[in-house]
Amino acid sequence: MGKMKITPVEEVPYGLYIWQTAGGKLIMDDEGRHLSIAAVKGDIKRIKKLKEVASHYGFPDGSPVWFSGHRQISDEEWENQRQRLEWGLVPDEYDLPALEEDMTQKMRQGIV
């Protein structure tokens, strides 16, 4: 068998762009929230809007970094996820791969 070429594939075309400074740091506010925008990969209008906001806050030099499959959540959702984690559940009820893995592990342990 010959050598196989492996090409990475994006999971999904939607996600987040997060602003990164020229020095490589991701911009966050005092509460740890990233300067981000939900978008479809390659959406020039959304990238431009993120750049305008970054410039407004004093970070004109930098670039957007793509995070496939990520999503923004509200403070309320964050608290809900934290509580779910404390209860031993998958924190994000919309994270299907994590939910599938959790179910597989429970089935192996005979819990489900």
Both 102 and 82 in a single domain? yes
Query: Tens digit of pLDDT for each residue in 34-59?
Result: 999 999 999 999 999 999 999 999 99
Contact indicator for 72, 36 with CB cutoff of 8 Å: yes
* pTM over 0.75, yes/no: no
Structure tokens belonging to residue 38: 């939900």
Both 57 and 19 in a single domain? yes
Q: What is residue 31's predicted lDDT score, i.e. its pLDDT?
A: 87
Structure tokens belonging to residue 17: 């762009």
Contact indicator for 61, 24 with CB cutoff of 8 Å: no
> Count of domains in the chain?
2
Residue range(s) defining the domain that contains residue 25: 14-68
Assign 3-class secondary structure to 82-105: HHHHHCCCCCCCCCHHHHHHHHHH
pLDDT surpassing 60 at residue 10: no
Both 37 and 81 in a single domain? no
Lowest mean pLDDT among 21-35, 45-59, 96-110: 96-110
User: Would residue 2 count as lying in a domain?
Assistant: no
- Rounded Cα distance between 108 and 85, Å, is 21
Give the three-class secondary structure for 110.
coil
- Rounded Cα distance between 62 and 11, Å, is 25
